[in-house]
Amino acid sequence: MRTSIIQAFAVALLGCVIAFTHNAVSVNGINPFRRIGDVPVLGVEEWGTEDGLHFLTLEEVRSSLASGAMLIDSRTEDEYAEGHIPDAINLDYFEMGKYLDRVLPAISSDRGIIIYCTGLDCDDSEMLARELYLLGFRNLFCFRGGLEEWENSGLPVETGSESAGYGESG
């Protein structure tokens, strides 16, 4: 039994060494100690007075877009290609590293950044907003209703792998 336990620890230790080395060089590597849970989520009364994330309703999203806010779709590339809100930029939350170099220059806190995913059942938009907050971006908003609420309200959806808005902002 002692030999088995030593072997198990050896395998686990080797696994840790390889895993952290790979994580350090991988494009999707993450800092496991980043304080993603500490990003403040604001209530309506704090909006505009404090730093943090805020959740928007569909109407608020539409009025923010009219005043120049930008949209980020946090779903996968395939889901984005099947249908997304017009002018949204794709930044797959699960593989952020692949997209950051291309997408980060196109993002500006000055315009307000609205992030969405599928709908109420997914929290990828909130998690992506937290990641962007930790990267230094501000004026971050989450549209919890996501594409489902947008589509159910009869609003137009764009298909294809690159939004028209991509070129404008990039």
Partner 1 sequence: MGRVDRSMQWREALFGIETAGRGTDAGRWIYNPYLLLVFRLVLAAVFIYAAFLKIGKPVSFAEEIKMYGILDAGPTLYIVAIVLPWIELLCGLSFISGFFMRGAALIFIVLNAVFLVFVSIRTGYIMNGEGIAFLEVYFDCGCGFGSTYAWKKILEDFLFLLFSGILFAAPVYRFVLVPARAGR
State the residues that interact with partner 1 by CB under 8 A.
Answer: 3-12, 14-16, 18-20, 22-23, 26-30, 32-33, 36-37, 93-96, 124, 127, 130
- Smaller CB separation from partner 1, 30 or 135: 30
Choice between 10 and 104, CB closer to partner 1: 10
Least distance between partner 1 and beta carbon 25 (Å) = 10
> Would you say 21 or 153 has its CB closer to partner 1?
21
* Phi, psi of 79, rounded to the nearest 5 degrees: -65, -40
Q: Compute the least distance from the CB of residue 36 to partner 1, in Å.
A: 5
In whole angstroms, the minimum distance from the beta carbon of 169 to partner 1 comes to 24
Q: Cβ of residue 11: shortest distance to partner 1, in angstroms? A: 5
Cα angle value 67/68/73 (rounded, 5°): 125
| Residue nearer to partner 1 on the CB measure, 16 or 157 | 16
